[in-house]
Amino acid sequence: MSDDQAGQIIAWRRRREDARAEGWEDDWRAEMVALLIGDPDDPDGADEAIQLLAEASEPTWEEESALADLLLRRHGTGRADPDDLDQAVERLRSVLARCGEEQLQQLLDLALALAIRADARPPGIADREEAIGCLERAEAICGPKEPVRAVVLHWLAVFVAERAQDHPDLDRAIGHLEEALGLDSLDGAGRAEVEGRLGDVLAYRIIHHGGDAAAVDRAIGLLEAGYDTLEESLARRNTARTIAGLYDRRAGRPCGPAPDRGVAAGWLRRALAEQPPEGAAQCHADLGLLLLRQCLPEDTPEDLTKLGFAEAAALGAKARDQGAGGTLAEAGQHLGRAAALTGDPRIRGLGALATMLSARSVKEVQEAAEALRIAVEAMPEKDRAAAAPMAALLEAEAETAALPATAEQLDARAGKLREATALLRGHPLRPAALARLGEVLTQRGELPDGADACMESCEVLTEAFRGMLRGHPLRGATALALARAVLNTRWRVPNRAELDSLVECLPAADALDPANSLAEDAELCAASGAARGMRAVYSSSRDDFEDALRLLNRAVELISPGHRHRGWLLLLAASVLTDRFSLDGDLQYLDAALDLYATIEKESLAVMDGPAFRLARGMALLLRAMHDRGKDRLERGIADLESALATVPGDYPGRDAMEVTIAAARHLAAGTVDLAILDRMIEVANETSTELIPGKEVIMKLADSLHRLARGGVPESAETVTDRMEEFPGHYAQKFSHEVHAEQLSARGDLAGAVRAGLRAQRARLTEVMVQSAVGRGLVASREAGDYALKNAKLAIRAGMPAETVEALELGRGTALHAATASGLGRLLDAAGERALAREWAERTTGGRRDAQPVIGIPDDLRHRVVLALARADENGLLAPPGVDTIAAALRDGGFDALIHLLPGTAEGPGRAVLIRGDGRVDGFELPGLDPGPRSRVDAYRLALMAILDCLRGNGTDLRRLRRRWRIALLDLCEWAWRVGMERVLEQVRRPGRIPRVVLIPWGELGLVPWHAAGLPVAGRYACQQVAITYAASARQLCSVLSRAPAVPAAAPLLVSDPTGETRLRWCRTECDEIARLHYPAAERLGRWRGRSSLTASGEATAEAVLARLPGGAAPASLLHLGCHAVSAPSAADSAILLHGEGGRLSVDRILERAAREEPGGTGPLIVLTACTGDLTENDHDESLTLASALLAAGAAGVVASRWAIDDDPRTALMMIMFHHFLGAAPGAPGEALRRTQAWMLDPLREIPDTISPGLRRLATQKNLADPTIWAAFTAQGR
């Protein structure tokens, strides 16, 4: 207490005599008591206060109540006198009697004191009954609106439930608690406490007297909700045990696996995690027994100690086969701990049973035998006879569980088993003995010098398996042992003959009847899948790969989720998928494999702790890292391989390959090159002795990456690599070998030969992109195609090879777009004589039947088979780009003067323009300043634009400042583009008396530049005033688009206005309304329009509705004008037009699905995207994959779209209205119409058509229409 309080107490004590003499001692006592109890941390003060109150000769009832309160408090501190509780109860009884009318608070105080005394002096029956009586009287005088009624009902329910022996009392307690929960006066904390108590009472009633499912569910819900609010650890433990008991009851039968029983085990583990020792023994016993029951069949006798020898043996074998060995071991541990804490022989016997059933070593069996012996001796006489037969089982299990660990022990054991199998020739037990021998040999094969044991184990287990009929109890385990032996041979002895023999022995994928499956079929499928997967690697057989994956998938379907071999099967399937990627290079197989590795890790399956998992996953991660921008997968792959290398046997034949792979990956991660490492990698790749070693693909990929990083450094061993790589099936090695060959020829001065070798490498790259099964994977596979194309094109320019220059450029442009939209594949397949494949392709691309997704996602290789079939037909043009003559003819047909590639400066030379003219000439010139590298004008603009996009995605705040910065960067970029490029280009394409028309293909980040806005912003002079520029992803796509006839815009137009309505696009609605009124009065209208908050008659502008208006849809339109939002994305495939509804994102990916079905030629509509960023790609610029190019691929004849985000601005509305005005004069030339519109925006003397509404005409004279942030955003592609 403070010094002031102490001083007051001393002073007040001195005044006691005065108070007594003057007759005010009662007042003095009250004041003194108040001072003494003012400090709750001062026990002496409280004791003195009690003494003063007890001395009062005629205390008031308030003083008696205060004295009782102090006595109860002192009882809780452990300093109480023995009679404190009795005095408190008597004082409170006196208070209640003196109050006259019954007082609610006094009844509650007395009830609490009686409850405390009952707890302190069990059983306390009389006190509890009196307390209940007090609370019943309190309930009677406490009205329904009294705030304290909830407390009264809660306490009354607690006391009634504690004395309950039958249904009525429990039901009464439940009723009180239900009433309390219905009162408004119950606050949050109080409500949680009452709900928890109701859960306890419901649980007690269910456990002791039964209850329906609804009652069980409610009790669980209440207890789980209140568990985290409990502060006392013992209360948390008891609640967790109660919840576990309810889940166990909900599981149904007392034995057998059930999800609810697994949840119950989880709650018991939480109970054990609490700190107080009280109740731990019972928790261990509950958990051990629950785990034991969970592992046993549903028809197991409830009294487990009465199992006989045969029953226990059958149960143990069945539990282990179902992967429950670990659970049984855990059950034995908990039961053993409970037995140690309690000494209960019955619990000790159950623990011995669990240990016996899970025992796998002599030591474990001996420990179980000793535990069982002790338990049996301590059991009552009636239990001993039933438990004794289990001792015999322990000895039998010891013989099968003990497997020696050293090579010498295994060799000795194998020798004895060989003798036994020789004696059993022709005997029914011979297959079982052979299986045992095969298991020993398999373990021996995993140790050093185990190659011979590997081969013998396959032979022995094959004979054992053939001797076992379907349904034999050891047939499944033998098949699993055989699969394990097969994997060992992959490490040790790659022998094709043995593999063929093994494959013939095991069932094929279609040999098992799904409607009549046995448990053993999972093991058979696993073994057969392992054998076929390994043979597929050796022979590069796609059929074997597909059979292997189907068999492994069937195995996973047949086993239970908790099966001990689930992880092993998933690992095997992932390895097969990785090897499948090595054959074709389709990233879908790698992605599927990595998904399986993630599943293994997520489920914490035991297989992830072994070197096989680290090796397999490490190789897959490194392969995938070769296609990533970041280094995360690369670093994780290195870590996995280093972990695996530390544990594989020293004589593992792939050890050298692993070491050189790790070294090369480290160099790649650091961006450094060691040509000695590269030389060693090529040597390892050439070694035929390691044909089946995992990682050959990784070695070639790393060698490829290091070779490019070295910029031409070619080791001497590369002289032989091209010949060796030609022997590899698939395409992954061809690209590397051709690139290395090109480097060799270039170093020798044979530029023409180097260019031709480089073109072969580019075609191999294109094939790798073409086989990808999704646009996103195609983008990943194509990331280096542009860089290599520039390198080879500049080499061709040096060599004076114009046609090859154009071919090199075209092989590196828009490869993912071409892969996703290669049109007419069905027609090409028919022409190539692949009619069956054409039918399969037609069924798939028209939304035909697809098989249900299996447990293991087996990727479809249809696309790969199509690409390879067409690659064999030289005339189909799938891989060959259009030649110069084809491009020139298309330019003439489209009315263009030239197609211009703008090439940035690189290490191979300065920037350059390559012109393909309509007359077939190819020429060009250098543009020395055309460098978009770091700290350039292009880089500054890119950073400013990306900052705005990030802000619009919620990653920034000051959008206005970012837009000012971007505007400055845009103006600087326009001036730079004129000075370093466009001014010189115009000199080459000018035509007297007319505006020239050119197609522009800017490379790399030059694709971000609005070249039509190149000029002198200060003077108001821009390129679009002097030349009509159309952009293209590639000449290939341009030729395809120009083969279509443009539809007449007014024939069947569709106008979409503000489809989402989430952010009201006022000027967009005005724009669409004016365009409809002035140009397309009969147009179909979708979305929300000016002056209307609801829809027009045509309906919602959904993604499905817009897709239906594209070529090939249900109602193709001649013009689609989409006034709506759009978003770009880091992955171009995810950029999307935002339309109405939950599935309203019309992404590039979805558009390209339609594009893949589009046949060449026909009639194409004009599509106008007034949406933001319809022609922007944030990455992968050489792919030019945007919403605009995707719509061209889907059949449009022309697309007008924007390069950056546009606000809902009246100037944009005016520009679009004028675009359609100029389009009316030239309906087949939207590019020229856009150029005229942009020139009109720039013209200070512009004429405004009288037909435009007065409000917009007035705005046209007030607003700055010449602002390039508005008009320069829009580009034209196609015609």
1208-1251 residue pLDDT tens: 889 999 999 999 999 988 777 899 999 999 999 999 999 999 99
Asked whether residue 801 carries a pLDDT value surpassing 90, the answer given is yes
Q: How do residues 1165-1215 score in pLDDT, each as one tens digit? A: 999 998 778 778 777 665 577 889 889 888 899 999 999 988 888 999 999
Q: How do residues 1125-1157 score in pLDDT, each as one tens digit? A: 888 887 777 889 999 888 788 988 888 877 655
Instruction: Quote the percentage of the chain above a pLDDT of 70.
Output: 70
Q: E-strand spans in 1162-1253? A: 1163-1164, 1166-1169, 1198-1202
Angle, alpha carbons 999-1004-1005 (nearest 5°): 100
Those residues with Cβ within 8 angstroms of residue 1147's Cβ, 6 or more apart along the chain or in another chain: 1133, 1134, 1135, 1136
For residue 1247, with 0-12 CB atoms within 10 Å meaning exposed, 13-18 middle and 19 or more buried, which class applies? exposed
pLDDT of the residue at 796: 94
What is the token pair recorded at 528?
């057969």
In 3D, which of 293, 286, 285 has the Cα closest to residue 255? 293
Asked whether residue 477 carries a pLDDT value surpassing 80, the answer given is no
**Residue bearing tokens 């590269």:** 678
Q: At what angle do helices 233-250 and 213-227 cross, to 10 degrees?
A: 150
Measured distance CA(1124)–CA(1106) in Å, rounded: 12
Asked whether residue 80 carries a pLDDT value surpassing 70, the answer given is no
**165-179, 860-874, 1260-1274, range with the lowest pLDDT:** 860-874
In the chain, where the domains are located:
142-207, 259-397, 407-563, 622-713, 731-740+749-844, 884-1031, 1046-1175+1189-1278
Report the SS3 class of residue 1177: coil
pLDDT of the residue at 690: 43
Q: Is the bond leading into 514 cis (omega within 30 degrees of zero)?
A: no
273 CB neighbour count, 10 Å cutoff:
12
Note the CATH architecture for domain 259-397: Alpha Horseshoe (1.25)
What is the token pair recorded at 53?
């109150």
Q: Tell me, what amino acid is at 998?
A: V
Fold held by 1046-1175+1189-1278:
Rossmann fold (3.40.50)
Q: How do residues 509-555 score in pLDDT, each as one tens digit? A: 555 555 445 555 677 777 778 778 777 776 667 778 878 878 888 77
What is the DSSP track for 491-558?
A: HH---HHHHHHHHHHS--TTSS-GGG--THHHHHHHHHHHHHHHHHHHHT-HHHHHHHHHHHHHHHHH
Asked whether residue 963 carries a pLDDT value surpassing 70, the answer given is yes
In 3D, which of 904, 1004, 1020, 1010 has the Cα closest to residue 966? 1010
What is the token pair recorded at 504?
């013939």
Cα separation values, 1006 from 902, 911, 966, 1184, Å: 8, 11, 17, 11
What is the token pair recorded at 140?
């009677």
Q: How do residues 1002-1035 score in pLDDT, each as one tens digit? A: 998 999 999 999 998 888 899 999 999 999 989 9
Half-sphere exposure of 36 (CA within 13 A, CB side): 22
pLDDT of the residue at 223: 86
Average pLDDT value over all residues in the chain: 77
Residues β-bridged to residue 1168: 1121, 1200
> DSSP letter at 909?
B
Q: How do residues 1071-1126 score in pLDDT, each as one tens digit? A: 999 999 999 999 999 988 876 544 455 788 899 999 999 988 889 999 999 998 88
pLDDT of the residue at 1213: 93
Q: Is there a contact between 678 and 664 (Cβ–Cβ < 8 Å)?
A: yes
What is the DSSP track for 285-297?
A: HHHHHHHHHHHS-
1154 CB neighbour count, 10 Å cutoff:
20
Instruction: Quote the percentage of the chain above a pLDDT of 90.
Output: 20
The pLDDT of 97-121, averaged and rounded, is 77
pLDDT tier at 735 (50, 70, 90 boundaries)?
low
Q: Is there a contact between 1184 and 816 (Cβ–Cβ < 8 Å)?
A: no
pLDDT of the residue at 311: 43
Measured distance CA(1124)–CA(1272) in Å, rounded: 19
What is the token pair recorded at 370?
């000793």
pLDDT of the residue at 793: 92
What is the token pair recorded at 813?
């442009």
The residue among 35 and 912 whose pLDDT is bigger is: 912
**Residue bearing tokens 């069982």:** 372
pLDDT of the residue at 372: 63
Measured distance CA(736)–CA(715) in Å, rounded: 13
**For residue 1064, how far is the Cα from the chain centroid?**
35
pLDDT of the residue at 1: 53
- Overall CATH class of domain 884-1031: alpha beta
pLDDT tier at 575 (50, 70, 90 boundaries)?
confident
What is the token pair recorded at 287?
């958990």
The residue among 864 and 993 whose pLDDT is bigger is: 993
Asked whether residue 306 carries a pLDDT value surpassing 50, the answer given is no
Same fold, 259-397 and 884-1031: no
CATH 1.25.40 for the 407-563 domain, yes or no: yes
Q: How do residues 603-662 score in pLDDT, each as one tens digit? A: 888 777 777 788 888 888 888 887 776 788 889 988 988 888 887 766 666 677 778 788
